[in-house]
Chains A and B, each alone.
Chain A
Amino acid sequence: MTPSFVRNKNTLLFGGVAVWGLLLIGCVTVNRTIMAPPQVVAGAKFVGSEQCSECHENVTSSFHDATHAKLIAQGDNATNVGCEACHGPGSVHVKSGGGAGTIINPGSSPETCFQCHLDKRGEFNLPHAHPVMAGKVSCSDCHDPHSGDAVMGGGTNLASVDATCLKCHEAQRGPFVFEHEALRENCTSCHSPHGSVNAKLLKARNQTLCLQCHSQQQTASGQLMIGGRDHAAFVQRGTCWTAGCHEAVHGSHVSSSLRF
């Protein structure tokens, strides 16, 4: 339902008054500056990462290992790339001795991250997303911007890549007597972690989610053989994980076919 806009006498009267009001207000002299998000502190200037180290040595000492450290370059054009690239110019923060509200804290707003990760702004605005835009979860709950890999776990880290998800999704930890092999790859095999068009952050809402791994060569037309069984009639009903078919998508204790 879209709101209708009717141009009647009252609307014109109200609109006219509003426009004149804005014009009058616009003539008022002010000396304040308004900042676009992320809200940089007005008047602050870049001071360099060395200044940050004086108080935040516990953070800066391991930064050389961080994924974001790969952005730091030599040269005159890259002088502002360091702590202040994300936290904003720090002169006011330094002058006030670390006063509250004098520096950007990306942990409380994702706007800083969106400056480079534009695609993630779109994903978090989808109908199904981790509630980052609602302020209930922050980027730093899953990513460490200051040390090691930004995507925590996996690779040659001690922790596995799934450990990040299992911090909050304990029921999916398992282990299950009968496993779903996809979990060994990781949760992102089936879920888009930032946001999705589909419920449950699923990469696809229909059977293609499963069929991208569970398809096989078909030897007769009109059939959909998966394993030793023709699923042509089953997929008409709904998703593979629908009630009674393969509900136990994360693993099962009772059924090797992950029925429930």
Chain B
Amino acid sequence: MQSFRSCALWALLLSPAALLAQTTVSGVLSVGGGTVLQDGNRAAFQEAAQQKKGEFGGLEAFNLLREGKDDVLKFEARALPGLDDYRLFGRYEKTEKYYVEAGFEQFRVWSDGSGGYFRPTNTSFSIFNEDLHLDRSKLWVEAGVTLENAITIRLRYQRSTREGTKSTTIWGDSNAVGKYGTRNIVPGFYDLDETTDLVTFDVANESQETQKWAVGARYSKTDLDDKRYNRRRPLEPSADRIITSKDTTSNDLFATHGYYLRQVTEKLTLSGGAMISKLDTNISGSRIYGQSYDPVFDPAYLRRQQRDEGFYDLSGSADIKQTVLNLNAVYVPRKNWSIRPSLRYENLHQEGMSEFVETNIGAGPKFAAILEDLEGESQRKWDEFTEAIDVRYTGLPNWTFSGAAEWLQGSGNLEEKERDEAGVVSIDRDTDTERNTQKYSLNANWYAKPGLTFAAQYYYKIRNNDYKSVRDNTPATGGDRFPAYITDQDFKTHDLNFRVSWRPMSQLSLVTRYDYQQSKTDSAVVALAHIESGRFTSHILSQSVTWSPTARLFVTGSVNLTYDQIKTPAYEFVKYGDNNYINATLGAGYVVSQKDDVFVDYSLYRSSNFIDNSYITLPFGAEQKQQAGYITWKRRQSETLIYTVKYGYITNDDVTWAGLNDFNAHVIYAKVQYLF
């Protein structure tokens, strides 16, 4: 008995060791930190580098993976307070039985809140802290189970948030540009607080090749508490005022979906899916002028100006009911052919209704407030059929060919109304819309020899939108009739790319790519001729080179040359939208010793589109040069210990803003990594 007890005790004590003998534990612990020494425009630097000025550091990664005979445990953590970057994640999985996981992550995005710059009078405004940042976070819990019959059940809850400030391109006006009149260059910013709670539930059996199915549901609730602040004519004693625009809308989205796939024969597989969704939105918001942020509407606010328009007490709803069905087939008539036809049908009902108090300011010298209760209303019905076919052929050795075609026919109706509290209708429209789209694409790949590949892709897309105004009470020459003026709008796009990947020798790899796109928009409005209202042309030539002359050295570089232009008939007023640029990178890595590596990286961005047409409008073309260079030393002290030290220099010259957004920054950073 004594010996049995003794054996049992030893067995109990040794059991964890026996368990550990069957498990492997691996991971990494990485701790790093550094600082950014920067002068010039801080906000511009932070937006460009997506990094905060000043000190940063902390736990970069603590990743743990424990693999047992039939289970896996994962743990990941990151905490970088200086960069506001956090992650905590854990997952336990019993192989082919169940899993549970939970996590939280947050990262920060920086933006520069600068407004515009008016060159002739050297005018710009800095009226708030332009160093803006927005935090995105995600918290989730998920569990899944696989039943004995291979059915999987998954339940997930997720909360996503978006909180902080960010820039806007909606700028206020200023008369501080002398003889040029008025220019909108006064910066504004957003203050966002958005939360979405999402629950998803899925049941599926996708374990068999011949038959798969899945059904699921999702419910999400979103609450917005967003504000945008704009300032008009700042520093002008009689006209300086602030607009606070609020969007406190919330919505509930419920959707169910499912699909079923069955291999009917060896050559034919059919599948079908369905989705029904319902989105209910509670509208709420305001746009109020005042002398401070977040004011309550005061009809006698200071410095009010004629046509200071806004609204408050906005309430209402906007709902969508949507049903989508699709059918798909994969037919393999012969070994190297695959034909994939598919169909889609969508039915959509949308209704919106809003009530609000519209505010306006009458002419001086009295500048009396004009308040009016108004109602807006819209109803939209839409039916859309899409047919597509995709054909693939792989019968020619070292070649692949595929082609696809897609046709869409949509038709619907939109009714829009606006009336005052007395029932007087100011807008009453009923428009029938038809939309037809065709898209044809061709792809080919040729593996000419080992290490040499040619690839080409092309598509042509045409989309015709026809609008027929059944009823419209707005005056034919009135400014408020738009968009009911449009009767026809057609889009045509040619898109082509060609790529050559070539490895002429084992140490050298070259990739060349050319992308071309041309889109044309033809528009027609009531009683006027068709015109080409827009033409977009883009050529992108890209090249990359990687060369490893010895095992100890690699050199890699890439360049993108882009010509990008949007032309409109309004050249006389606004010139063209030019977005040409060059982007280049150069990097190298060198094994210095058995333990040490050195890496260098350089990047250049250059655009030169600035046209100083200040005398007719704002000169918006970008002219900027941004360069960054880094040198990194990495030492493998042992199999498990790695040190990294990095230094970088980043510089920015921004001609469009006459140097106001220029910066120079030194980045110093070190990291210690322990692998286990």
Contact = CB atoms under 8 A, between A and B. Distances in A.
Interface of A: 1-3, 25, 28, 30-37, 58, 61, 64-65, 70-78, 81, 99-100, 114-116, 118-119, 121-123, 125-127, 131, 133-134, 136, 155-159, 168, 170-171, 173-179, 181, 185, 196-200, 202-209, 211-219, 224, 226-229, 232, 235-239, 241-244, 247, 253-254, 256-257, 259-260
B540 A127 contact: no
A36 B589 contact: yes
B551 A32 contact: yes
B581 interface: yes
A102 to B, nearest CB: 11
Given A28-B592, A171-B224, A237-B182, 18 more contacts: A28-B594, A70-B402, A75-B398, A76-B398, A77-B449, A116-B513, A156-B387, A156-B388, A156-B406, A158-B273, A175-B318, A181-B483, A208-B568, A211-B570, A212-B535, A227-B481, A229-B478, A241-B170
B542 interface: yes
Interface string B340-382: 0011100000101110101000000000000000101110100
A242 B534 contact: no
B558 A176 contact: no
A34 B591 contact: yes
A175 B218 CA distance: 19
Contacts of A178: 352, 376, 378, 416
B400 A207 contact: no
Given A247-B170, A254-B376, A204 B109 contact: no
A1 B653 contact: yes
Contact of B569 (A158, A205, A215): A215
Contacts of B589: 34-36
A61 B496 CA distance: 30
Contact of B279 (A3, A175, A236): A175
Contacts of B531: 215-217
Nearest to B389: A156
B137 interface: no
Task: Bin chain B's interface residue count.
Answer: 35 or more
21 contacts: A1-B40, A2-B651, A76-B397, A77-B450, A158-B275, A175-B279, A175-B281, A175-B318, A177-B377, A185-B463, A185-B491, A205-B577, A206-B620, A208-B568, A215-B531, A228-B475, A228-B476, A239-B184, A243-B232, A253-B318, A259-B309
Contacts of B671: none
Interface in B533-583: 533-536, 540, 542-544, 546, 548, 551-554, 556, 558, 560, 562, 564, 566-570, 573-577, 579, 581, 583
A235 B570 contact: yes
A36 B585 contact: no
B605 A30 contact: no
B489 A237 contact: no
Contacts of A185: 463, 491
Nearest to B258: A158
Contacts of B479: 227-229, 257
A211 B533 contact: yes
Q: Is the interface of B mostly helix, strand, loop or mixed?
A: strand
Interface in B506-538: 511, 513, 515, 521, 523-525, 528-531, 533-536
B620 A73 contact: no
A185 B435 CA distance: 10
Tell me which of B283, B398, B427, B450 has the highest count of chain A C-beta atoms within 10 A of its own C-beta. B398
Contacts of A227: 479-483, 485
Nearest to B232: A243
A158 B570 contact: no
A69 B481 CA distance: 49
Contact of B591 (A30, A75, A181): A30
Given A228-B475, A242-B184, A259-B309, A204 B320 contact: no
B501 interface: yes
A198 B579 contact: yes
A66 to B, nearest CB: 12
Contact of A216 (B26, B380, B399, B485): B485
Contacts of A218: 569
A34 B243 contact: no
B566 A204 contact: yes
A1 B324 contact: no
A218 to B, nearest CB: 7
Among B497, B534, B573, B649, the most chain A Cβ lie within 10 Å of the Cβ of: B573
B438 interface: no
Contact of A212 (B386, B560, B568): B568
Interface majority SS (helix, strand, loop, mixed), chain A: loop
Contacts of B427: 256
B124 interface: no
Nearest to B85: A136
Given A100-B26, A156-B388, A215-B523, A236 B181 contact: yes
Contacts of A158: 257, 259, 273-275, 324, 326, 344
Contacts of A25: 592-593
A196 B501 CA distance: 26
Q: Which 5 A-B pairs have the closest CB atoms?
A: A212-B534, A122-B560, A227-B482, A204-B577, A238-B184
A14 B319 CA distance: 70
B189 interface: no
Interface string B72-115: 00000000000000000000000000000000000101000000
B597 interface: yes
A134 B274 CA distance: 38
A70 B445 contact: yes
B316 interface: yes
A108 to B, nearest CB: 11
Contacts of B564: 197
A115 B503 CA distance: 13
B655 to A, nearest CB: 12
B205 interface: no
Contacts of B585: 121, 125
B290 interface: no
Contacts of B165: none
B107 A136 contact: yes
B352 A170 contact: no
